[in-house]
Amino acid sequence: MCGIAGYMVGKGSEDKMLLDEALRRLRHRGPDEKGVWKNKGVGLGHARLSIIDLSSGQQPMKSPDGRHVIIFNGEIYNFLEIKDRLIKEGEVFSTTSDTEVLLRLFVREGFERCLAQLRGMFSFAVWDTREQVLFLARDRLGVKPLVYAEIPQGFIFASETGALFSLYPDLPRNPDYAAIDHYLTFQYIPSPLSGFTSVRKLQPAHAMIIRNGRIERLWRYWDIDHNKKSRLSFGEACEALREKFLEATRIRLISDVPLGAFLSGGIDSSITVAAMAHLGVNPLKTFAIGFEDDQFNELPYAGAIARHFGTDHHEMIVRPDAVSILPKLVEHFGEPLADNSAIPTFYVSQFARTQVTVALTGDGGDEVFAGYKRFYHAHLIDKLERLRLLSLWREIRRVTANIENIFHPEKGRSSFPAGRADEMLTMKGIDRYKHLLAFYTDTAKAQLLTPEFQALIGRSITSDYLSGQFERARHSKGVNRYLYLDMTTYLPEDILFKVDICSMLNSLECRSPFLDHVLIEFVASLPGNYKLKPPKGHKHLLKEAFKDWLPEGFMRRNKMGFSAPMPAWIKKDLSSLLRRRLLEEGSLDKWIRRDVVEKYLDDHLAGRASHSKQLWPLLVLAEWVKQYKVVL
């Protein structure tokens, strides 16, 4: 696990790239070693976090004939299997690293055949000194990031956006207005967009070829085959899932440094710890954090799992320190990301790093196995529409809302529509699902944004973004289409980006068995009703497959979610910072209406309404504009 950066200067351009500065910016990702290779307008840099083969495997690494040079960030989990085959075919290895296996496979079988065989998380670059071509690729699920820019002098790339600006300080800092529009809706910016018009993100499962400092080819090399349908019975699927999950966990245990696991107390991390215990990991170190606010504290559940498996368990209560951690997170995200679970993710990574260098996680479980309520709501409305019962359901909801007012007056009187699930009954197509996801709905954005900023954005393409991915899954049915949608949008662009940055800020490598592409292909082939059993049967297949592994009744507990107590933090620790950034400094005045922000803040502080989901994204946005000196 490492940080990479590099460049290719076009013909006739002078090499003025600051590669050492870029690597200094990436040192947290690779504090153990630094390596640089340069030759005739090409530079490759590597900051190494040693995980496998601690004594050798330094990068940049050359092929035996010196023709190819590689820099690689990530882990190839099946490298031993590939290595054994290559040895039988005559290859002789000089290290025990997966980097050398990756390079030899690339040289021997070519770029595309190499990518097809990799089982892991990665972003890497290979320079061919003979053909003068640069190859870059990112893993299938998008676990490892890779950002790049085409500049007048050529092509630059890095693991983080901040490193790009260190590599080439003249990189323009103009904001991408469409990207900010996406951010306000989803709380993240989808690739290939970034916060800057000058910076792009290589999308998951994509590869590219660079010649003479320009992109020659960019393509997607992997996708789910939606035509593959499993005929396994539910019981057979449960058995197969256990086997595949154990295998996905086993290959993620290869490490020459101490290894442990995050244990949030939720189902996904608990199953991951259970699999590690079944595979005989000893000692099995687990790490959990909690909050003083019981509404957000899962430590009792994490402790129950730790006792059940006899792990070497470590817990920590996190006190609110968002004011000091926010600038650091924004710096390394390089763009606005408003997922407030970044704060606990940073702290649990920092906590775990005191004892281990690798931590297994449960990331991906919700997106692969239908863990969110939105899957049920979207699937239900689609079904009602097919049966031409949507109008009837809308009237039923109108009546039940009134009944709830009569029998539950303590909840406060509400009228129809009583929430997002009701509001989407009047919408069509993918706009329904977007409405469930949105932090700022289209209506709320129209009220928030200044006319000037709305003109800069032009026609919003937030629905187009979702519908494009939804269309790719047109051969799937029901909930499986929505699972694919989340797997290709929210999972890589929010969850995995957040975990990579927050863990690598602490020089910690995170691995998740749920992100194994072989496992995901298998689960995608199963019927949607195996995963979602209405009305509350979220993760039905996962729970049934692993219910005997966990304590009695554990699978029946309500989902809590891994997030910070942001409503309380905004009232206390963050209120002065919010006022300073959004109202006193006015850094977003060209984009957002100050009167709307002031009302959000006043209502929240007075307890009239909770607006943490609206205020936190604006604070993050303002911090990014200030820190990166964004040109407004």
- Convert the pLDDT of each residue in 366-422 to its tens digit: 999 999 999 999 988 999 999 999 889 888 888 887 777 666 665 665 677 878 888
Q: What are the structural domains, with CATH classification, of the chain? A: 2-220 (3.60.20.10), 234-290+298-320+329-370+488-556 (3.40.50.620), 565-632 (no CATH)
Q: Is 2 a catalytic residue?
A: yes
Starting at the edge strand that comes first in sequence, how are the strands of the sheet with 68-76 ordered?
Answer: 61-62, 68-76, 120-128, 133-138, 206-211, 214-220
Q: Is the pLDDT of residue 601 over 70?
A: yes
Per-residue pLDDT, 320: 63
Per-residue pLDDT, 560: 61
DSSP conformation letters of 37-82: EEETTEEEEEEE---S-SSS--SSEE-TTSSEEEEEEEEETTHHHH
Report the relative pairing of strands 42-48 and 61-62 from DSSP bridges.
unpaired
In this prediction, residue 273 has a pLDDT band, given cuts at 50, 70 and 90, of very high
Is the distance from CB of 357 to CB of 507 less than 8 angstroms? yes
Average pLDDT over residues 98-118: 98
Is the distance from CB of 513 to CB of 249 less than 8 angstroms? yes
- Convert the pLDDT of each residue in 440-474 to its tens digit: 999 999 999 999 999 999 999 999 999 999 999 99
As a whole number of angstroms, the longest Cα–Cα distance in the chain is 80
Start-end of H helices in 389-509: 390-407, 420-423, 430-437, 442-448, 451-457, 462-472, 479-488, 490, 497-504
For the purposes of burial, counting CB atoms within 10 Å of the CB of 146, is it exposed (0-12), middle (13-18) or buried (19 or more)?
buried
Per-residue pLDDT, 397: 86
- Convert the pLDDT of each residue in 541-587 to its tens digit: 999 999 999 998 888 777 666 667 888 888 888 889 999 999 999 88
Catalytic member of 2, 114, 238, 510? 2
Higher-confidence residue: 121 or 317? 121
Q: Is the pLDDT of residue 537 over 90?
A: no
Average pLDDT over residues 297-304: 88
